Amino acid sequence: MEIDEVLATTRAVRRRLDPGRPVPVELVRECVELALQAPAGSNVPRARFVVVRDPDLRAQLAGIYSQVYEDTYRGSEGYIGRVEVDDPQAAQTQERTARSADALERALHEVDTIVIACLDGARLDHVSAMASASLLGGVLPAVWSFMLAARARGLGTCWTTMHLNRERDVADLLGIPYGRVQQVCLTPLAFTVGERFGRARRPAVDDVVHWDGWDEALPSAPDVRGLAAR
């Protein structure tokens, strides 16, 4: 798959995950190996991947995700189905995405591989914006590379942060040392139903690039302050 196609068609896959096709360990290892080639701040790779394949652990992890989704997220202002957009076509897309998010909550326990990406060596609970951005910069590129590598192998992923509302519970479940390791995101990993994915509806380049300073005339994204983790 050409790199531009991988970049343009790596979608958040929720409804098209295929739980009937187990993911070979070798493919997981290949994705992690490529992820580790991502840039890392101070040349110190801090990304760690907790790959959960044990059926009982997966069921408990999916249960925590579902509890947060149902008890906290679905009724919140940050619920994806409540994000208001002016364009009718965009509103329809938003509704479909909400149904997709609901589907992932129902299907996560069926997926045979769940991956939690972590930052090793620091917690960001009370650090400066500079420190937070710098440390996350040692993890997020690696996670995205992992997802791109998965896409190139016919695997679907979906960046979620839902479980972080109960991060300590997940740490206890999986033996993650909470005091020095911060979980960053969770993703299912599964083969997809069909391999063709299109480009997403996104703003035009000229609507998002601010040349030589911030231009208030350009469209603004919705205010996300105070919204719950998606």
Give a yes or no: residue 25 inside a domain: yes
Rounded Cα–Cα distance for residues 152 and 35 (Å): 13
Which among 186, 222, 177, 225 is positioned nearest to 69, based on CA atoms?
186
* Percent with pLDDT over 70 in the chain: 97
Contact between residue 147 and residue 10 where contact means Cβ atoms under 8 Å apart:
yes
Token pair 């740490």: residue:
171
Q: CA 155, 58, 114: angle at the middle one, nearest 5?
A: 25
CATH number at residue 149: 3.40.109.10
Supply 24's token pair: 């070979």
Give a yes or no: residue 88 inside a domain: yes
Give a yes or no: residue 121 inside a domain: yes
Give a yes or no: residue 218 inside a domain: no
Over residues 149-153, the mean pLDDT reads: 98
- CA-to-CA dists, residue 211 to 24, 203, 218, angstroms: 46, 16, 11
Band of the pLDDT at 152, cuts 50, 70, 90?
very high
Contact between residue 17 and residue 107 where contact means Cβ atoms under 8 Å apart:
yes
pTM for this model (two decimals):
0.90
Give a yes or no: residue 141 inside a domain: yes
How does pLDDT run across 116-150, given as a tens digit for each residue? Answer: 999 999 999 999 999 999 999 989 999 999 999 99
Supply 201's token pair: 């509806």
CA neighbours within 13 Å on the CB side: how many for 154? 10
* Domain total in the chain: 1
pLDDT exceeds cutoff 80 at 87: no
What are the E-state strand segments in 135-207? Answer: 155-156, 181-188, 190-191
Residue 169, domain extent: 3-207
**Helix orientation angle between 140-152 and 25-35, rounded to the nearest 10 degrees:** 140
Give a yes or no: residue 230 inside a domain: no
Q: What is the pLDDT of residue 11?
A: 95
- CA-to-CA dists, residue 155 to 58, 106, 152, angstroms: 18, 19, 7
Residues in the chain, overall count: 230
How does pLDDT run across 32-63, given as a tens digit for each residue? Answer: 999 999 998 888 889 999 999 999 999 999 99
pLDDT exceeds cutoff 60 at 229: no
How far the first Cα of the chain sits from its last, in Å, is 30
Q: Which residue has the higher pLDDT, 1 or 107?
A: 107
Q: What is the pLDDT of residue 226?
A: 54
Give a yes or no: residue 151 inside a domain: yes
Rounded Cα–Cα distance for residues 193 and 198 (Å): 14
Give a yes or no: residue 139 inside a domain: yes
